[in-house]
Amino acid sequence: MKKSAKKKQKLSAKQQKMIWGVGIAVVALISVFLAIKAVETSEEIVRFFNSNDEIQAITIQGDEGFKMEKAQDRWTVLGRLEETDQEAVLQALAVLNQMGGEKVEAKRQNVGLDFPRLAIRVDYADDSFKRVSLGNPDPTGGGYYVEVQSEDHSGIYFVENILIDYLPLKVNNYLVTALLPWSPDQVESIKINRQSEMVHLTKNSPYPAEETRTNVGGWFVAEPYTHYYGTSYPEMQELNQALQTLQMNEIVEKDVTDLSQYGLNASSFSIEFTTADDQRTLLIGEAETESTTFARFADANDVFSIANELLTPFEQSASDYHDGYVKIIALDNLSQLSIESERLTVDVNVEKDGDDTHFKVNDQFLFERGFREAYTAIAGLPVAGLSEGAVYQEAEITITSTIVLEDGEKVVVLELVDYDEEHYAAFVNQESDFLVKKAHVDEALTVIEQVLEY
């Protein structure tokens, strides 16, 4: 295969510092733990690996075993096409240098060492090696029995859990598999293009901050809608988690000339990630297995596999990402709320007095708590479907919100136009995306009327 033209996935400086910080903390924790154990026990803690010896290879022997070799001060995981994570290997070496335990008298077959579940073999530059086989945990759950094979330390030892648990034993822990070279907070836009629809999620909206203050998740649904809408907090939490964990299983083939064999010559599912100054488009191909799918980036022909569960958060419909409301504006950002209909016409003025907010109709104060609760019925009108084919005409109900901005005011007009027997088409500034149920609107008006009569 030719050398890949794909850019190497590099961690940001912030991510590298975080990883190194965690690694240093782990090694320090283990060192302190061993020092405490040395004081508490009369048994000698024997270190298995000499940190002064030059390690040339590390082999994890087991069902999913792998081998790493060092050449010219760089480590390589053998038999894999991915880049080896040098920092991860150095952290593993630091943990190995702390590994040790108390020698015990035990028969191999009694502690699971006649057929060990896995073993760690370390090869040195002088052609010597050391091998630590992992047996059963002890009955108390405090550690494991291991067998050491080396020139200077052989026999069965008891090793505390911490010394095993902090050593990564899966090959992917030592590979650069992250698909996005940025932290999740740097991603500003995600465009998901599937055959069914295009969904555009963005952190940037054309509206002033005062108009969107209730959108606590910070993301908006733009396409396929005319307006920008708030997002479902749980859905976006899952999406943010996906951005953090999005990674390949493995590179299947580099520099592929026939992409059709992977369903990647003309992908019907793509995800475009955009930051302030960068962009990457992930193309999704055919299924590899029941749980994985082939994929590649649009600017490279290296094909890799990705777990289907990592793609699930990007496979939702626009309505799933949407928070489900027509237009929510924070009440405390208004200077006036007006409702005009055959049934009810009212202007509610919102006045600020320091930290206090007052609501007045015809210079009469409204019960604050009651009006706040009533306002949620108007502001929180739930969507009841798409307003396909809706025609703008005279509204039966008009709700006008005047928003106080830092440099003035903005007026948002919500007009409810008759659509069918059960629904209104909700037009915001004369453009409509959604329907609302007439029954919900009637209930909201009833709540407002009750507050006005209080």
Q: How confident is the model at residue 62 (pLDDT cuts 50, 70, 90)?
A: confident
- Does the pLDDT at position 63 exceed 90? no
Contact 202, 109 (CB under 8 A): no
Q: Specify the number of domains making up the chain.
A: 3
Tell me, yes or no, whether 160 and 200 share the same domain: no
- Does residue 318 come out as left (phi exceeding 0), alpha (psi in the -120 to 50 range) or beta? alpha
Tell me, yes or no, whether 190 and 268 share the same domain: yes
Tell me, yes or no, whether 197 and 304 share the same domain: yes
Mean pLDDT to the nearest integer, 273-278: 96
CA 242 to chain CA centroid, nearest Å: 3
pLDDT tens digits along 351-373 = 988 888 899 998 888 888 999 99
In-domain check, residue 1:
no
- Does the pLDDT at position 444 exceed 80? yes
Tell me, yes or no, whether 49 and 191 share the same domain: no
In-domain check, residue 7:
no
The residue among 386 and 366 whose pLDDT is bigger is 386
Tell me, yes or no, whether 105 and 254 share the same domain: no
Cα 141 to Cα 101: distance, rounded to the nearest angstrom: 15
At residue 173, the pLDDT reads 93
If DSSP codes are grouped into helix, strand and coil, which group holds residue 428? strand
At residue 31, the pLDDT reads 46
Q: How confident is the model at residue 163 (pLDDT cuts 50, 70, 90)?
A: confident
Mean pLDDT to the nearest integer, 327-345: 93
Q: Lowest mean pLDDT: which of 89-93, 95-99, 301-305, 406-410? A: 95-99
One-letter amino acid of 15: Q
Tell me, yes or no, whether 157 and 192 share the same domain: no
- Does the pLDDT at position 41 exceed 50? no
This prediction's pTM = 0.81
pLDDT tens digits along 9-23 = 444 434 444 444 444
* Integer angstrom CA distances of residue 66 from 174, 248, 253, 338: 10, 18, 19, 69
- Does the pLDDT at position 339 exceed 80? yes
At residue 355, the pLDDT reads 82
Q: How confident is the model at residue 43 (pLDDT cuts 50, 70, 90)?
A: low
- Listed ranges 4-13, 94-103, 145-154, 179-188; the one with the highest mean pLDDT: 179-188
Residue range(s) defining the domain that contains residue 358:
331-453
CA 41 to chain CA centroid, nearest Å: 44
Q: How confident is the model at residue 132 (pLDDT cuts 50, 70, 90)?
A: very high
CA–CA–CA angle 416, 417, 422 (5° rounding): 90
What are the two backbone dihedrals, phi and then psi, of residue 52, each rounded to the nearest 5 degrees? -85, -15
Tell me, yes or no, whether 48 and 164 share the same domain: yes
Tell me, yes or no, whether 375 and 443 share the same domain: yes
Tell me, yes or no, whether 69 and 132 share the same domain: yes
- Does the pLDDT at position 203 exceed 80? yes
Mean pLDDT to the nearest integer, 424-451: 94
Q: Is 64 exposed, middle or buried (0-12, 13-18, 19+ CB in 10 A)?
A: exposed
Mean pLDDT to the nearest integer, 129-146: 90
Mean pLDDT to the nearest integer, 127-143: 89
In-domain check, residue 47:
yes
Mean pLDDT to the nearest integer, 417-443: 95
At residue 178, the pLDDT reads 93
**Token pair 């996935």 in the structure block, residue:** 9
In-domain check, residue 271:
yes
Beta bridge partners of 57: 69, 123
**Token pair 């302030």 in the structure block, residue:** 276
Contact 401, 350 (CB under 8 A): no
Tell me, yes or no, whether 150 and 217 share the same domain: no
At residue 52, the pLDDT reads 54
Tell me, yes or no, whether 281 and 355 share the same domain: no
In-domain check, residue 326:
no
In-domain check, residue 345:
yes
Q: Which CATH number belongs to the domain containing residue 190 in this structure?
A: 2.60.40
Mean pLDDT to the nearest integer, 297-321: 95
* Domain edge (last residue) among 146, 174, 202: 174
At residue 396, the pLDDT reads 96
Tell me, yes or no, whether 340 and 215 share the same domain: no
In-domain check, residue 5:
no
Cα 192 to Cα 281: distance, rounded to the nearest angstrom: 10
* Domain edge (last residue) among 174, 197, 226: 174
Task: Provide the mean pLDDT of the chain.
Answer: 87
* Domain edge (last residue) among 303, 321, 339: 321
Look up residue 388 and give its two tokens.
Answer: 């396909």
